[in-house]
Amino acid sequence: MSAAADPTPVPADPTPTTPLDPDAADPFGWLEDVEGQAALAWVRERNAHARRTLGADPTFAATEAAVREVLDSDARIPEVARIGDRYYNFWRDAEHERGVWRRTTLESYRSATPEWETVLDLDALGEAEGVSWVWHGASMLRPTPEQLAAGEPWRRALVDLSPGGSDADVTREFDLVAKRFVPAAEGGFERAVVTGGAKGGLTWADEDSVYVFTDFGEGTTTPSGYPRIVKLWRRGTPLAEAATVYEGTADDMYISARRSRTPGFERDVVSRTIAFYRSETFLADSVGTPEQTLTKIDVPDSAEVGFHREWLLVELRDDWTVPGRDGERTYAAGSLLAARLDDFLAGVRDLAVLFAPTPTTSLAGATWTRHHLVVNVLDDVTNRLHVLTPPDGGPSDAAWTRTEMPATDPLAAVGTRAVDPVDSDDVWVITTGYLTPSTLALATVVGPDGDGTTGTTAPEPLKAAPAFFDADGLVAEQHFATSDDGTRVPYFLVGPAEALHPPQGVQGTAPTLLYGYGGFEVPLTPGYSGTVGRAWLRHGGVYAVANIRGGGEYGPAWHQAALREHRHRAYEDFAAVARDLVHRRITTAAHLGAQGGSNGGLLTGNMLVRYPELFGAIVVQVPLLDMKRYSHLLAGASWTAEYGDPDDPEQWEFLRTFSPYHLVEAGRTYPPVLLTTSTKDDRVHPGHARKMAALLQACGKDVTYYENVEGGHGGAANNAQAAYMSALAWTFLRQHLA
């Protein structure tokens, strides 16, 4: 029996030989037993220590209350999704800790005090069923045109619920008119209710069938625990009789399917995720019958595809060279391309270029309305919105009509989201900045006018979040640091004007927190946080956000520059920003902290062991830290495209250089560190944080550890837990940096 599976802890040397030998027995491997008695006893002891050192701090209760007030505020913007003639919202507050799914009309939503109709109360459901349910979302079945013409309402939904907040969840059919779950005894669809949850889901095919991709038993999941088989399940039949639509290989990452029900453009789509950044998409015909066929969309595995009516969109991660009518043509990585789907399936490879990257620009996203496409571009991490209208005819690569929406504050992020891409040209416009509370407006995208350009109506302001803190005297700026290899690395800076610009010759000592992520092509853009403002900025703190390589701020190339053997570049970038904050005389190393979660937890773990001299305190949340074991723990196998395969000796040679668990040295000085995680995190195994804390403790380092009992990878299952976890971090940072 392995140490990780043994419920009895393996005795560890009080001061283990460090760095740890990855080929020897792991002295703290027993902490990987998530629910093991010995492991949970250790967790309880460390949690008690955190409560004594942080929870008893005189500022803790006030910080927790201030954060909770933000999270529970009725003045927050309730984001809505249009379903038929109703607008749905999921909402948590002090009265609804687990949350309430509710709906209203647009007319009521426009008012200062909308009248909400409760559809599903999760607190009441959890109490009735004795399960700590956490909302994972819902998908609705669009009625047919005939049903809509007859006045039939949107009735059928599939609701995803997680016990405790883990990624594994259940799916249950819900009647939106009767506002109740449809029991299996009445033919309702239910997934994994008995077993307590599995990773996967259900998606609607029609009123009486769904696609199901889940754990069907031994051999039906991938090494990451995700589904590798998708089936068509017909109402009133046992799940065991569902017809297999597609089965991936044992090494794939995720298999799923869905049906687009846009009238006149109904399509069944099967998705095969081979690994992160590699996938295949198929169009399926005669699904679930012996005559079933699958037609692969012939694009690079690294590309992403999307469908809207007659159009196919292709977003490239790598250069793509294809034959065209005028010879070979190469489309650049990071481009967004369009073609008529029928032409593409017929072999035409002349595509319209809707966006092509430059050294400072990248595609942040795109959203379809009924007739138009709104493209969101980042230019040096500043949003620019463009409206594109496809041509009525001509070849697939015919030019689209284009116009720019008005520019916004460069230190505010702007996003758009279609209200209803099937029937409407309305879009939500969401604006948010570090010091500017979020606003929500409604605009309509209009077609080409007399000069051939498109545009939008003047956005109608609908909602504005309150100012949760006084921003007087605070400023937000963007700066650039220079990394070790000369790369220009942007970062945002927020804080008191006098702290950001100290008098000439004066070395500032402002308590400063540097936040980062740097992975999976995720960009960090400005956003309003009442929590940061209340808990940090209004106490004289400075807040910085680093846009390091590995993220998506400059598109695929920015991400790929820090993959696998190049991971060190992300850490060099973050360290460069830390040094720049000192160089600008804003702070000193003793007053500078770092914070990050998940992949950002791996980042801050590396700051701890590789650059301890740059920081006065470090917060590491739901992290990866043991890069020798990560691919064998929960969903870790799905991330080898990002980090590398530790089971390959050649790849382990570079992985070990950024495996914090194997870089701890007992004789080295480290800044104080707070590690937090969740017992219910079934994405990043809590063993990473547990083992790192135990090792640092055994080496006599200043380490504080707290593990929430539920909450999944988000770390908290309700606002009360989120406020408590947040207060732990802010109290820790103030203790060591202020």
Half-sphere exposure at residue 591, Cβ-oriented, CA atoms within 13 angstroms: 18
Contacts of 680 by beta carbon, 8 Å cutoff, 6+ apart: 164, 165, 166, 708, 709, 710, 711, 712, 717
Residue 439 amino acid letter: T
* Residue-level length of the chain: 738
Closest CA to 66 of 472, 529, 470, 535: 535
- Taking the C-alpha atoms of residue 682 and residue 692, their distance in angstroms, rounded to an integer, is 18
Per-residue model confidence (pLDDT) at position 452: 53
Query: From residue 474, how far is each of 471, 524, 538 by CA, in Å?
Result: 5, 20, 9
Token output for 492: 């945002």
CA distance 517 to 546: 8
| Two structure tokens written together for 362 | 């990248």
523 neighbors 364 (Cβ within 8 angstroms): yes
Sign of the C-alpha dihedral computed for residues 41, 42, 45 and 50 taken in this order: negative
User: Which domains occur in the chain, in start order?
Assistant: 29-68+468-737 (3.40.50.1820), 75-130 (no CATH)
| Of 92, 85, 144, 145, residue with least CA distance to 122 | 92
Give DSSP secondary structure letters for 573-597: HHHHHHHHHHHTTS--GGGEEEEEE
Place of tokens 């590396």: 606
pLDDT for res 324 = 85
CB 689 within 8 A of CB 708: no
CA distance 94 to 511: 32
Q: Where are the beta strands (DSSP E) in 645-727?
A: 673-678, 703-708
Cis preceding-peptide flag for 19 (omega within 30 of 0): yes
In the chain, DSSP finds a helix count (H) and a strand count (E) of 15, 40
Question: How far is it, in rounded angstroms, from Cα 220 to Cα 215?
Answer: 6
Q: Is 161 left (phi over 0), alpha (psi -120 to 50) or beta?
A: beta
- The Cα-based distances of 167 to 138, 160, 195, 620 in angstroms read 15, 10, 14, 21
> How many Cα atoms are found within 13 Å in the side-chain-facing hemisphere of 702?
15
Residues of the chain with pLDDT under 50: 1-9
Nearest-angstrom CA–CA distance, 369 and 419: 8
**Helix pair 719-737, 60-72: axis angle to 10 deg:** 140
Strands 117-121 and 703-708: unpaired
Helix-, strand-, coil-residue percentages of the chain, each rounded to 5? 25, 30, 45
Residue whose structure tokens are 């647009």: 106
Residue 531 neighbours by CB under 8 Å, 6+ apart: 67, 70, 71, 468, 726
Looking at residue 716, the DSSP 8-state letter turns out to be -
Q: What is the DSSP string of 634-680?
A: GGGGGGHHHH--TTSHHHHHHHGGG-GGGT--TTS----EEEEEETT
The C-alpha atoms of residue 399 and residue 195 are separated, in whole angstroms, by: 53
Q: What is the 3-state secondary structure (H, E, C) of 480-491?
A: EEECCCCCEEEE
pLDDT of residue 84: 94
Pairwise CA distance, residues 10 & 28, whole Å: 7
d(CA 733, CA 672): 9
Measured N-to-C along each axis, helices 687-698 and 37-50 cross at an angle, to the nearest 10 degrees, of 70
**212/190 Cα distance (integer angstroms):** 10
Show the tokens assigned to 17.
């030989």
Instruction: At 148, list the tokens.
Output: 């809509």
C-alpha–C-alpha distance, residues 174 and 157, integer Å: 5
277 Rama class: left (phi>0) / alpha (psi -120 to 50) / beta: left
pLDDT one-digit tens code per residue, 250-299: 999 999 999 999 999 999 999 999 999 999 999 999 998 999 999 999 99
Q: Who contacts 568 (Cβ-Cβ below 8 Å, separation ≥6)? A: 562, 657, 658
Determine contact, residues 723/64, Cβ cutoff 8 Å: yes
Which residues are known catalytic residues?
Answer: 598, 713
How far apart are the two ends of the chain, measured CA to CA in Å?
48
At residue 11, the pLDDT reads 52
